[in-house]
Each structure stands twice: as C-alpha cells, then as structure tokens.
Structure 1
Amino acid sequence: MASPLTEIPDHLLAEIFLRLPDPADLARASAACVTFRQISTDGSFLRRFRRLHAPPLLGFLDYGRFRPALPPHPSAPAARALALAADFYFSFIDSYCHWTVQDSRDGRVLLDRDLRQHEQPPVFKDLAVCDPLHRRYVLLPPVPHGLAASLEHPFPMVSDARCKAFLVPLGKEEVAAAETTFRVILMANCKTSLAAFVFSSSTGQWQASASKVWSDLALGKHDMAEMSWVHPFILRRHFAYGCFYCDWVEFGSKKLLLLDTRKMEFSIADLPPREWNKEGGIAIVEAGEGRLGIFGFHGKTSSNLSYTVAWNKGESPSQWEVEKTIPLDSGYRYFIRDATQRYLLLIRTAALPRPSLGYPQYEYFSMDVKTLQLQRVCVKQCQPMMPGTHIYTNFTPSLLSSPTI
C-alpha cells in the first residue's frame, strides 16, 4: 500500500514547496496542517524560497496615493489585502500631510518633508524611510553641515532645485535574509560638479561618498551644458548590477550618467546607437549573465516595444543586439513609467485624444522582464503625467528596528 501523503519526508516536502509558482500558493499550503506550516515558515526554507521567487508587483504609488493592482491581475487579492492593512497616507508620521513620496523599494517608502511654507529652507530637506504595512518609520538625521559645505558652487536653494534622494535596492541575499537595513543616496547636482551622500541604517550616519567635476566626465560642451541644468527629479533612473543609470533620452541625449554604488563613482556610458523615442522612455534592466538589457521604443511612434541586450558584460557595453520586439495594440500611445529589476510599469492612452471635459484615461500594465508577459494593473483618469510614479512590491515584512530615531 502506498504511503499516505503526510509520511513524505520533510526535506522532500520542502523541495515540493520550493517549486510552487506563487507565494500565495505557499501561504495556502501552510494553512493545510501543522507540518506544512512548520516547513513553510522555517527560516532557512524561506531564504531559499525568496531567492527563487521575485516579490510580486502589488501596485504603484503616484500623486501621493497607492494604486493597487486590480482583477484580473494575479496580484489583485494580495494588493487588496495590502491596501486594507497598510497606511499609505502615512498618518503614523508626525505632520504627515507635509511629507511627499520620493521613492519605493522592497516594501519601503522614502519620503521628504514639503518645505513650501518655509521662507528659508535648509540646504537639504528632512527625509524619512517608512514601512506603511507595519506603520513604522525612521527619521533620517540631517546631512552634517561639514558635508553640505563641501559642495562646490551649489545652485541657490539646493533642496528644491538640484537634489534628489532615492533608496538603494536590497541585494538578493539581503532579500532572502529579510534584512531590515537600508541605504539612502542623496545626489546633488551643482553648477560644476556632482556629489553623492550615502546614509546607512547600520551606522545611522551620512557619508560623502562620490564627487565628480562635470568636465572630468569626458563630455562635449553641448552635453555638459545640457546635463548640468536638468533637475534630477525629472531624470529617469534605473538600477542594474549595483549601478544607477540616469538617462536624458527625453532631452534627445544618448548619454547615461552612471553611479556605481559599490565603488561610489560617477561615470558616463553610451546608449546603443539607435533612434530612441523621446516620449516613450527607456528602462535598463538585468538581462542575466552580467549583461545589461534595455527596453524602449524606436522611431517617432511608440507602437512596438523592443528589448535590446548587450553582447558583452560590464557597466558600459559597446555591442548590442535586439533580442525581441514585443508587439503592442495599435491606436494607442505607450510610455514606460517605472521599472525595477523584475518589472516594468507601462501606460497607454488613446493615440488621438477624445473630446472630453475631464482628464484623459490611462491604462496601466505590468511586464515581467523575464517572461515578457503583459498584465493590466488598473485604469484611471488623471491629469497629464508628471514624474513621481513608483512601483510597490512587497514579499516579506520590511519591519524597521524602531518607530523613530
């Protein structure tokens, strides 16, 4: 007689659970019996499971609101539960109505304090990293005066004009271990140079980590003039293999500003020599085996999305090949709104605007960069798009160590 299911050895059950396609399946399996729950909640098992399964896209933050994924998106049930359980109004933070979203990574949200009511704003805005699910936050200390004074020829009102803060994504091992640490980079764009300051929750301190004079980046006069005046807030920012890439595609430039977070060095890289559609934007992702991949639209219209992959490894590859062209429905204009290491957030709207007294309608789609599968997230009517849309993913509790510092 065959052995009953409950007599399968625990190590074989663990191997079966690792092959479940979705975290929701694991949650359902853990509710079946005590043995299944013990296996699925074991720390070593969870670390293995997180290495194999990317955190699901649950929605996105824009215009100060959380937009959950709606049916038929596969994350819709979890997104609805998150929207009910979390506080995306951030009312657990003092003076929460004066805080605005700057970035979202790994279930955490970076906020800065609105200084419009201040006559004399400080050099840098106040920053906070929060966990909206567990209603906890860390208020970052101010950048020390000595570091702020090290900026060369800063623009007037640096905090409003030329600074941008963003979270550094966790590595695979950090995600697998459910790390509660985080890092924040504050990039300052000055008249003649760039500077980056890094805050680590491990030390609780800011450090000056990178600085580069514009003239040392091997740029022509036209590129230097174009890049130095652009507000960092409107630059499209991408992260791959430990590097942030900022692009000027919207302004017709084929240059990328690169910040290596391992060496904390600035440099310049080139986009593949193709005609990139300015309006649709690009997304730089990890293509595997240390190679970069770029999603983007070519030509004057954004009718088809192409995926271009580098032949060679490295931060600034010189050889590229179109890996795949993803056909999109005709009659629409498409835009890349945000990207993580695993997902793209696309928007589409009617190519010919319809006469209406209200705002135009936008459809939001997620794309898995591994499978290239498109899935609709939601539909909403809103004003013309502005910078500030951030994908929200969550897999494990991003619990911070204390409510405040």
Structure 2
Amino acid sequence: MASPRSPPQLMADLVSEILLRLPPEDPACLIRASLVCKTWLRLIYDGAFLRRYRAFHRAPPLLAFLACSYGNSEPRFIPFTSPTPFKPPAFVCSSRSRVMDCRRGRALLFDMWADSEGALSVWDPITGDRQVLPKPDCFYISGAALLCASAAAGCDHLDCRGGPFLVVCLGLSRGATDAHVYSSDTRSWSWGAQASVQLGADSFGEMNSPVVIGDEVYFALDLTPRILKYSLGKDDLSLIGPPDQDGGSEFVLMRTEDGSLGLAAVRDSNLYLWSRKVNPEGVAGWVICRVINLQTLFSIHNSKTTSVIGFTEGVEVIFVRTYVGMFAVELKSGKVKKVAELDYYFSVLPIMSFYTPDCGRCNHRHRLADL
C-alpha cells in the first residue's frame, strides 16, 4: 500500500503573513511559533521579518511596569499580561535608586548616593544591558528624561531600542535649576547649555515619567503644582501652570492622541482629562476634553486616597491608585483591570517594547515551561 501523501507545506509568504498577525501583547505566541520547525525559527529570527512585524503593529505593547511605593525601598516589577515570558534579568534597581523615566523599552535609573560614575544609568529590562553615565556638574539631580537621539530627524521609534539616546537632566545648583543634555554618541554632557530658571523649593521633579513632544520635554514639579518645559532646539526653560483643580490635586502629565500636552487628575471620584490648546488669538490654555466617573468602573471607598499615578502613551492606559489596590483603565475601550493589591503607590513607569524571540534569548528556555 502506498504511503499517504504528506500535506503540502504552506508557502513561505503565507506563513509569514500568518505569523505577522500574532498579537504582540501576547509574546508567548511568537516564541512558541519559533519552536514549530527550523523554517519558522529562521523566519521569525530574520531581521526583515522583525522589522515588518513592528511596522505592522506600530505601537509596542505594554509588557510590564515599574511601580514605586512608600512601603518598598526599591521599585516593584509587575507584568501587565499573564502568562508572560517576559522576566527581567538579574540586575534590578538598588534600594538607593529611583526610576526617573521609562521610554522605548529602556529605563533611566538614578542612584542618589553614587559617586561621579553610576549616578545615572540606562537599563534595558529585557536584555539586561546597562550603560552607566557620568554625573552632570550639579549639586543634585531633580529630574531626568530619556529620549531617542533620532527623534528630531523623524524617527518612527520602531527599531531604535538599543540605539543612540539622549538624556535631559534637571540639575539643582546654587539655588537655580539648570538643564543638561547627555549624548550616548559622544558619551558626554553638553556643558554649553545655558538654560536656567529660579524655582526655589519646588524644583524637584515628580517620579512619574516626563512627557516628550517633538523636541520639548515636560516635567511635573513637586510641592507646588507647576510644569517645567525644556526645549532642546532653543535650549530654553519655561514654566506652565496646570488647570484649576480646586485645591491642586495630584496630576500626571500625558501626551494626547493629537500630539498635544495633556494632564490627568482625579477629583470627587471623577477622572478629568485636560488638553493644552491654542485659541484663535494664539493664547495657550487648558481645555477639559473628557470626564470619567470612576465609581461606574470600580468601587471607590475613599475618594481622598484615589489618584492618578501613571500614563502609558500609545496604548492610552491610565493607572489609578485606590483604597483597594491599583487599577489600569483603558481610555479607548473603557476596560478596567486590577494590576496590584493595596499599597501606597505613588508612581508607575511603563515598560513598552516588542518582546520578540531575538530579545532575551536566555529567558525563553526558562519561561516556556510556565506558559
């Protein structure tokens, strides 16, 4: 009897189109597919396919986040999807460190007790790569932002993770706040920066991620609710007042879908979303663009302990701290997910990246058995 014919293999282009549509928010799918056969493994590891995969999905998924609370001396790593193959390598922030920013899959860490080397470092939680920066010439670092070095040239940020970067640092010296810019290409700070502003005691930046819009970086200041804007192109610092919030509730800066500066805050169990717009007379001001009643999404036992502590650009997710835990609110769909139990969290910094099989290879063998 003749042996049955084996089914014809799928054409390589068809396989590629199928694999291209596997959801990036569930990275285990692509990792499992790479184990089907050598042909699929070669395809998924191919650089051209990975570039197509990122371009097809555009916005990188929210894989995890670093949550800071007053009850823990170091940030807590919390996966956003479950199950997940994403597990950070051995290096984690020390108890003396704070997370200043997370952007393009990398975190900017600050060790306030470090010597001239090691005060600032850029850490990739997927690959474990860590680059130590020299300390800028200032008494204290009150805020910092991590930027893609090619942003001004119109980078689409699909392939820039691991590439050149800039760090904008707010340094406190002699009663003034100065702006310093570090380039990973030259491995040095631009000492020629002349931007400086007198802020007084409220010159300390919040721990939530700054907002980057074009070549402008926005920092939320502590103690008194104001916003500090630094323009890379003009090397200029300026102050912006927040909207009237009846007492100055805690707020988080965000970038709106149309590319404007936005702000989110909770007041009387409602989530208010503002956007900064320019009127026909050329005057910029705050406009309420949305109000969400949080009581309809989850129970709020004490509105005074409810506040916004983080925002994820691209996927439009707001993190809200409540009396019963931390919740993630998807602004587009209205979906709500409890992501952490009760703790006094004051900041959430998202880790967004495409976790493809070429990333963190050593982790895959250890994590696939758990999926």
TM-score, normalised to structure 2, is 0.71
Residue pair 1:284, 1:295 contacting (<8 A) in 2 also: yes
* Coordinate RMSD, CA, aligned: 3.8
Match of 1:48, SS state, is helix
Equivalent residue number for residue 308 of structure 2: 336
When residues 127 and 250 of structure 1 are mapped into structure 2, their CA distance, relative to the original with a 3 A threshold, is closer
Of 207, 220, 227 in structure 2, the residue corresponding to residue 247 of structure 1 is 220
Shift of residue 259 of structure 1? 1.3
Residue pair 1:57, 1:394 contacting (<8 A) in 2 also: yes
Match of 1:244, SS state, is strand
Equivalent residue number for residue 257 of structure 2: 287
Shift of residue 281 of structure 1? 1.6
Equivalent residue number for residue 77 of structure 2: 67
Q: What does the per-residue CA deviation read over 1:249-290, in whole Å, with 9 as the maximum and x for residues that have no partner?
A: 863x4x421112454432233544x436633423321323x3
Residue pair 1:307, 1:323 contacting (<8 A) in 2 also: yes
**Match runs of 1:101-116 below 5 Å:** 101-115=99-113
Shift of residue 327 of structure 1? 2.3
When residues 372 and 133 of structure 1 are mapped into structure 2, their CA distance, relative to the original with a 3 A threshold, is same
Shift of residue 248 of structure 1? 4.6
Of 7, 10, 15 in structure 1, the residue corresponding to residue 10 of structure 2 is 7
* C-alpha distance in structure 2 between counterparts of 1:191 and 1:142, whole Å: 17
Paired AA for residue 349 in structure 2:
H
* C-alpha distance in structure 2 between counterparts of 1:177 and 1:112, whole Å: 22
Residue pair 2:179, 2:193 contacting (<8 A) in 1 also: yes
Match of 2:86, SS state, is helix
Of 42, 46, 49 in structure 2, the residue corresponding to residue 45 of structure 1 is 49
Of 327, 334, 357 in structure 1, the residue corresponding to residue 293 of structure 2 is 327
Residue pair 2:134, 2:188 contacting (<8 A) in 1 also: yes
1:304 equivalent in alignment to 2:270: yes
* C-alpha distance in structure 1 between counterparts of 2:250 and 2:241, whole Å: 19
Paired AA for residue 231 in structure 2:
D
Of 184, 187, 195 in structure 2, the residue corresponding to residue 201 of structure 1 is 184
When residues 309 and 35 of structure 1 are mapped into structure 2, their CA distance, relative to the original with a 3 A threshold, is farther
Equivalent residue number for residue 21 of structure 1: 23
Residue pair 2:327, 2:338 contacting (<8 A) in 1 also: yes
Equivalent residue number for residue 86 of structure 1: 89
Match of 2:219, SS state, is strand
Residue pair 1:128, 1:140 contacting (<8 A) in 2 also: yes
Paired AA for residue 393 in structure 1:
M
* C-alpha distance in structure 2 between counterparts of 1:77 and 1:209, whole Å: 48
* C-alpha distance in structure 2 between counterparts of 1:88 and 1:184, whole Å: 21
Instruction: List runs of 5+ in structure 2 lacking aligned partners.
Output: 1-6, 361-371
* C-alpha distance in structure 2 between counterparts of 1:165 and 1:309, whole Å: 23
Shift of residue 239 of structure 1? 1.0
Residue pair 1:111, 1:129 contacting (<8 A) in 2 also: yes
When residues 372 and 234 of structure 1 are mapped into structure 2, their CA distance, relative to the original with a 3 A threshold, is same
Match of 1:50, SS state, is helix
Paired AA for residue 238 in structure 2:
S
Q: Which has the higher helix share?
A: 1
* C-alpha distance in structure 2 between counterparts of 1:112 and 1:7, whole Å: 50
When residues 323 and 34 of structure 1 are mapped into structure 2, their CA distance, relative to the original with a 3 A threshold, is farther
* C-alpha distance in structure 2 between counterparts of 1:347 and 1:395, whole Å: 25
Range 13-22 or range 335-344, more displaced: 13-22
Of 174, 177, 180 in structure 1, the residue corresponding to residue 163 of structure 2 is 180
Of 149, 168, 177 in structure 1, the residue corresponding to residue 147 of structure 2 is 168
Shift of residue 199 of structure 1? 1.6
When residues 88 and 68 of structure 1 are mapped into structure 2, their CA distance, relative to the original with a 3 A threshold, is farther
Residue pair 1:98, 1:114 contacting (<8 A) in 2 also: yes
Match of 1:211, SS state, is coil
Shift of residue 35 of structure 1? 4.1
Equivalent residue number for residue 392 of structure 1: 351
* C-alpha distance in structure 2 between counterparts of 1:208 and 1:192, whole Å: 18
Paired AA for residue 267 in structure 1:
S
Of 130, 139, 145 in structure 1, the residue corresponding to residue 132 of structure 2 is 139
Of 252, 275, 287 in structure 1, the residue corresponding to residue 245 of structure 2 is 275
Residue identity over aligned pairs, in percent, reads 22
Equivalent residue number for residue 229 of structure 2: 258
Q: What does the per-residue CA deviation read over 1:126-183, in whole Å, with 9 as the maximum and x for residues that have no partner?
A: 322233444432222344xxxx3xx7xxxxxx22xx6433423575634424433332
Residue pair 1:193, 1:212 contacting (<8 A) in 2 also: no
**Match runs of 1:367-382 below 5 Å:** 367-368=329-330, 370-381=332-343
Residue pair 2:252, 2:311 contacting (<8 A) in 1 also: no
Shift of residue 328 of structure 1? 1.0
